[in-house]
Amino acid sequence: MSEEIKHSVVMIGAGPAALTAAIYTTREDIDTLLIEKGVVGGLAAVTDVIDNYPGFAKGVKGLSLADDLRAQAERFGAEIELGEVSDLAKEGKLIRLKTTSGDILADAILIATGCDYKKTGIPGEEKYYARGVHFCATCDGAFYREKRLVVIGGGNSAFQETIFLTRYASHIDILVRSQIKASDILQKEMQQFIVQGKVSVHLGVTPLEIVGDENGVTAVKGSDVNGSEIEFRTDGVFEFIGLKPNTSFLQSSGVGLNEQGFVITDENLETNIEGVFAAGDVRSGATMQIASASGEGATAALKIREYLEGRLHNSELKQLEVNP
């Protein structure tokens, strides 16, 4: 039987939190593996421009920041593997991970799987996914040059992504269910596109159905504040209605989750399972900002180092007791 693979630290996810944590652990010569099922860099990598990350006065391309974080982590020895974790469980002093490439043992785990886009759940959403329904403007916006679009959402991401989409679309209708929650800065920036006639904001509109034909999406049906039906002709739909934590793989693990599915941690970013830590957007209480995710990654790395040193110290003490 082949020997089981073991690492000092395994980080689930490879977004800003995990990559920053890996920079810190590998600089301390701690054997570190990151497992990422999607894009290295997480949602940051598919964000067009990040304007609020410290040190970049003119902003920074999301993909550029992700690439630099990856290169820095790998320079110190971090190993990044594409794959998916389906479960984890405490096994003595170690933690066993079930992954697409087989079981892996670790002394400590960092859960940094971040979040994914929420969906409306309305009819037509699944049917036309990737055929007119999208969740990433930088990924798919260029397909809609001189075409009409509908954006669903009224928060920062909806406004930020709509501004990006104005590079391509001839006109964009933003459907806001209740009230605009985007920051004042983004609202002021959006105003120029409203004045130019490139963007129309519709308040109190609830999307009810995405309709189309064999060629893709043709319209979004909804209702206004009076309950009257309203229809928006469109060539594509982009949804930006919030984020949900990527924690479905933890449902049977025993890791504590709150009602929304976010990972619960203590002040040391440790979960209810010894040796299992969490950082970034997946953690309950996270601020959903790239800068704070990176900060939490650094903190988690330091706490993991303390945890590993504590285990080593306790082991040495037990050895002295056995061999006085």
Which residue among 140, 213, 224, 235 is the active-site one? 140
Which residue among 136, 213, 266, 281 is the active-site one? 136
Indicate if 115 belongs to the active site: no
Which residue among 29, 139, 224, 266 is the active-site one? 139
Q: CA–CA distance from 30 to each of 9, 188, 297, 306, 309 (Å)?
A: 7, 47, 15, 12, 11
Tokens representing 69?
Answer: 């974080």
Pure H helices in 15-99 = 16-27, 42-45, 62-75
Q: Which residue has the tokens 């969740």?
A: 135
Contact 234, 148 (CB under 8 A): yes
**Spatial separation of the C-alpha atoms in residues 128 and 161, rounded to whole Å:** 20
Neighbour-count burial of 22, counting CB atoms closer than 10 A to its CB (0-12 exposed, 13-18 middle, 19+ buried): buried
The type of residue at 261 is G
**Spatial separation of the C-alpha atoms in residues 20 and 298, rounded to whole Å:** 6
Contact 197, 204 (CB under 8 A): no
Catalytic residue set: 136, 139-140
